[in-house]
Amino acid sequence: MKKLPQNKKQVLLDIALKNHEKEWKYKLPGEVKKEIILALLEKPLTSFELIEKLQCSKSSLGGHIRKLINKKIITHEFKDNKRHYIINNKDYAEKFLKDPSEFIDTYKLKNYGLSQLKILKILEREELPYMKLKAKLKIGPNSFFKTIRSLKNKRFIERIDKKWYLTDSGRSILNLKEDYARYCLYANIKNI
């Protein structure tokens, strides 16, 4: 007896719901690409099979695949009228697994969560108005605004009478080891 076809929309909805409920939002730079490479080293897979295996969204997977194709690490071929992704250059794939910094913007690898952590450390010492806090950090206005908004939305900082203050949750981040604190800030972990 032939197996009934899988309802792809239901699988994608289930994955989206699972991702919405998980305790963190992002993986570190390069982690998803590593997972894609490891999966494709086992055997060629379609995008839907990769989505199921990695439990990530279709759009997120598409972005990672495009970058890996541009770096000539993977490519695709058609089998049974379906696009299958395969490893294009095994040496590049193994290099990526050992040291992704050759293939990924090293700024992103070295500096994830750093600006947010700096703001928390500054506010631990003193409460400051927006412009004085911005002057101490020395980053662009858009980046600064997004960083402040992110910290406020996570309830790590709050504004009272035009000054920004560190909350108890913000203090709890500062009590963590620095690498883990930066990861928590970058990954938008909900509960610490």
132 and 67 in a common domain: no
Q: How does pLDDT run across 56-74, given as a tens digit for each residue?
A: 888 888 888 998 999 999 9
**How many angstroms separate the first and last alpha carbons of the chain?**
49
Stretch 108-114: mean pLDDT: 73
Q: Rounded to an integer, what distance in angstroms lies between the CA atom of residue 181 and that of residue 192?
A: 10
155 and 118 in a common domain: yes
On whether residue 2 sits in a domain, the answer given is no
51 and 118 in a common domain: no
On whether residue 3 sits in a domain, the answer given is no
Tally of domains in the chain: 2
77 and 137 in a common domain: no
Least confident of 38-42, 92-96, 98-102: 98-102
pLDDT given at position 21 = 66
On whether residue 64 sits in a domain, the answer given is yes
pLDDT given at position 190 = 58
130 and 46 in a common domain: no
146 and 95 in a common domain: no
Of 24 and 165, more confident: 165
Mean pLDDT for the chain?
83
Which run of H or of E encompasses 165? strand 163-166
Percent of the chain with pLDDT over 90: 36
75 and 12 in a common domain: yes
Kindly report whether the global pTM for this prediction surpasses the value 0.75: no
92 and 124 in a common domain: no
Range of the domain at 152: 112-187
Give the CATH number, domain containing residue 59: 1.10.10.10
38 and 125 in a common domain: no
- Percent helix, strand and coil across the chain, each to the nearest 5: 60, 10, 30
Of 56 and 101, more confident: 56
